[in-house]
A and B are shown apart, each in its own frame.
Chain A
Amino acid sequence: MTTSSSLSLADASTGSYIRLERIEVQGVLRRRLLDLGFVPGNVIEVMQKSPLGDPTAFRVNNTTIALRIEESSLIFGYYEESDER
């Protein structure tokens, strides 16, 4: 397992895995993200960008959730070699 410095989901390259570290979104959306599985410690796969470049689809707990850059740039983690499962 290689760890590197933390980066936002918006900056992560497609196809990579990110272990979440912190979420700086506030309010209702923060709670919604938590409910969807964007919890610290969880591993997220960066799937693919929309044809127009935004939003981006993420794989979390075997579900695909699309987030806009406004949100994904506030979710931080570090690269993980692959899904731990």
Chain B
Amino acid sequence: MDAPLATNTADPLDSLLGAARTISHGAPIRDELVSDIYSRSRQICKLAVQYEDKKKLQSTYKLDKILTSKIWGYPIMFAILGVVFWITITGANVPSGWIADFFGVIEGYLTAGFQAVHAPAWLHGVLVLGFFRGTAWVISVMLPPMAIFFPVFALLENFGYLPRVAFNMDRLFKKSGGHGKQALTMSMGFGCNAAAILSTRIIESPRERMLAILTNNFVPCNGRWPTLILLSSLFMAAGVGAGLHSLATAGVVMGMVLFGIIVTLTVSWVLSKTALRGVPTHYTLELPPYRRPQIWKTILLSSRDKSLNVLTRAVVVAAPAGVITWILGNIFIGGDSILAHMAGFFEPFGHMIGLDGYIIMAFLLGLPANEIVLPILLMGYMSSGAMVDADGLDNIKDIFLQHGWTWLTALNMMLFSLLHYPCGTTLFNIYKETKSVKWTVLSAVIPLGIAIAVTFIVAQTARWLGWV
């Protein structure tokens, strides 16, 4: 910015500035300026604004007295989070089944069509079993929970609750060396980490913004919800009676989120003591008045926007991944598919951290989008080498059990999903925002290291204690 312009001598601005300095005698005038502007504002308001009833003005702080109170602040925050998850999980089950059935019928027609024109088997495999199933899976598993989660979250956001979360949690972030507004960018991460990276621009200090960027990944995004929800529903909440099942699932998912927050705070703390040293910067947080959101408009708008988003992503990312996975699973070398060879290669490492070779493969191939990790995994497990239909959760659980899954595999898969590197889009955004290869690489390596360490410790401890 300050590159000297050698050709310019006697800059007219410098002489103006000089004159200004002489005139002002170096006395600061900012305070007086602002004071005078404010007195003018007050003067105008006295003339033009009337408060009919001061009591009415209190409605927002009456609510704040409860929502940010010492006793109720945290319980209410967790309750709201839990309710959001519960609504999402319960509400998504039925439409998910419908959509999967619908795609199943279409697939039947497609297959019949391919047979009618005597299309070669590989073409049917690539297009229908790879491309079509990949897309269908993502849509039927992703769309319903997102179409519920996003509107509910948008309602909370438009109501004005998020700044209260930041207010409640500020002390924790301060202690961990982060910025209070990190709570806001974290909340954005529930929707999409890639978008949340952009929202870190609200943090002015570069150091604290970097902390927010590096730790945003520990908040599960829409691509990882289905993995968390599905696995906790199948394995963690399995023993619970039918009526309480979705409640237990929501409880487990919430436990994961809380663990993610703990990791966020810990990593921020470690980084702010090491690579990103510095004191927390000063800040002011505005708590806007609560506003009743326009319920239907918010619901329609956010489900429309998000649905569109999921659909686009499904076609752009999941479909090609489906094709690639199909190809890898159907080209055989020495009796085994390439996919099986690769899984075999990762097996020892996978076992060490309580997973298996296929899971590691799925996470690697799933780098472009977390949505496709689970479909790829299922496809790898299936001998047919194509992604399965999502017809029935028991079916999916059987596939897992046949491949030697235990509660530990499920737990570690959830932990790995929660903690591992961010998706390709997010990494790209991190690079765009930081313009630094080093920090972009670190933003993938740090979470990966933590994911490996945590799953390793969990797996070894569980085995040592003889729990598995």
Q: Residues of A at under 8 Å CB distance from B?
A: 25, 29-37, 39-42, 47-55, 57, 59, 62-68, 70-71, 85
Inter-chain contacts of A42 with B (CB < 8 A)? 38
Q: Report the Cα distance A84→B456, complex, angstroms.
A: 63
Are A50 and B171 within 8 A (Cβ)?
Answer: yes
Are B74 and A51 within 8 A (Cβ)?
Answer: yes
Are A52 and B172 within 8 A (Cβ)?
Answer: yes
Known contacts A50-B73, A62-B57; decide if A55 and B286 are in contact (CB<8 Å).
no
Are A71 and B282 within 8 A (Cβ)?
Answer: yes
Q: Report the Cα distance A50→B35, complex, angstroms.
A: 29
Are B51 and A50 within 8 A (Cβ)?
Answer: no
Distance of A10 from chain B, by nearest CB (Å):
14
Interface residues on B, range: 20 to 34
Are B282 and A57 within 8 A (Cβ)?
Answer: no
Question: Within the complex, which residue of B51, B73, B287 is in contact with A66, where a contact is CB–CB below 8 Å?
Answer: B287
Asked if B109 is an interface residue, CB under 8 A from chain A, the answer is: no
Q: Which residue of B lies closest to A53 (CB)?
A: B171
Are B283 and A57 within 8 A (Cβ)?
Answer: no
Question: Within the complex, which residue of A50, A63, A68 is in contact with B282, where a contact is CB–CB below 8 Å?
Answer: A68
Are A55 and B170 within 8 A (Cβ)?
Answer: yes
Q: Report the Cα distance A70→B180, complex, angstroms.
A: 13
Interface hub of A41, A51, A52 (most chain B Cβ within 10 A):
A51
Are B38 and A51 within 8 A (Cβ)?
Answer: no
Question: Within the complex, which residue of B34, B64, B71 is in contact with A64, where a contact is CB–CB below 8 Å?
Answer: B64
Question: Within the complex, which residue of B35, B168, B287 is in contact with A39, where a contact is CB–CB below 8 Å?
Answer: B35
Asked if B429 is an interface residue, CB under 8 A from chain A, the answer is: no
Known contacts A50-B68, A55-B285, A62-B57; decide if A68 and B38 are in contact (CB<8 Å).
no
A37-B38, A50-B73 given; 16 more Cβ-contact pairs under 8 Å: A25-B282, A29-B282, A34-B30, A34-B31, A39-B34, A48-B64, A49-B70, A52-B172, A54-B170, A64-B64, A64-B286, A65-B287, A66-B170, A70-B282, A71-B282, A85-B51
Distance of A84 from chain B, by nearest CB (Å):
10
Are A57 and B167 within 8 A (Cβ)?
Answer: yes
Are A51 and B70 within 8 A (Cβ)?
Answer: yes
Are A68 and B174 within 8 A (Cβ)?
Answer: yes
Inter-chain contacts of B35 with A (CB < 8 A)? 34, 39-41
Distance of A40 from chain B, by nearest CB (Å):
7
Interface hub of A29, A34, A42, A55 (most chain B Cβ within 10 A):
A55
Q: Which residue of B lies closest to A55 (CB)?
A: B170
Distance of B36 from chain A, by nearest CB (Å):
10
Q: Report the Cα distance A51→B60, complex, angstroms.
A: 17
Q: Which residue of A lies closest to B69 (CB)?
A: A51
Q: Which residue of A lies closest to B286 (CB)?
A: A65
Q: Which residue of A lies closest to B34 (CB)?
A: A34
Are A47 and B61 within 8 A (Cβ)?
Answer: yes
Q: Report the Cα distance A72→B319, complex, angstroms.
A: 55
Known contacts A39-B34, A65-B285, A68-B283; decide if A47 and B69 are in contact (CB<8 Å).
no
Q: Report the Cα distance A70→B283, complex, angstroms.
A: 10
Q: Which residue of B lies closest to A45 (CB)?
A: B61
Asked if B21 is an interface residue, CB under 8 A from chain A, the answer is: no
Ordered by A's residue number, 5 sampled pairs between the chains whose C-beta atoms are within 8 Å are A30-B30, A34-B34, A36-B286, A64-B289, A66-B284
Inter-chain contacts of A25 with B (CB < 8 A)? 282
Are A33 and B170 within 8 A (Cβ)?
Answer: no
Q: Which residue of B lies closest to A85 (CB)?
A: B51
Are A55 and B167 within 8 A (Cβ)?
Answer: yes
Q: Report the Cα distance A42→B68, complex, angstroms.
A: 26
Q: Report the Cα distance A77→B172, complex, angstroms.
A: 29
Inter-chain contacts of B65 with A (CB < 8 A)? 48
Inter-chain contacts of B73 with A (CB < 8 A)? 50-51
Q: Report the Cα distance A62→B288, complex, angstroms.
A: 10
Distance of A62 from chain B, by nearest CB (Å):
7
Inter-chain contacts of A47 with B (CB < 8 A)? 61, 64
Distance of B20 from chain A, by nearest CB (Å):
18
Q: Report the Cα distance A23→B68, complex, angstroms.
A: 27
Q: Which residue of B lies closest to A41 (CB)?
A: B35
Q: Report the Cα distance A57→B168, complex, angstroms.
A: 11
Inter-chain contacts of A49 with B (CB < 8 A)? 70
Interface residues of B in 11-35 (CB under 8 A from A): 30-31, 34-35
Q: Which residue of A lies closest to B73 (CB)?
A: A51
Inter-chain contacts of B289 with A (CB < 8 A)? 64
Contact with A along B253-295 (1 / 0, CB 8 A): 0000000000000000000000000000011111111000000
Q: Report the Cα distance A35→B41, complex, angstroms.
A: 12
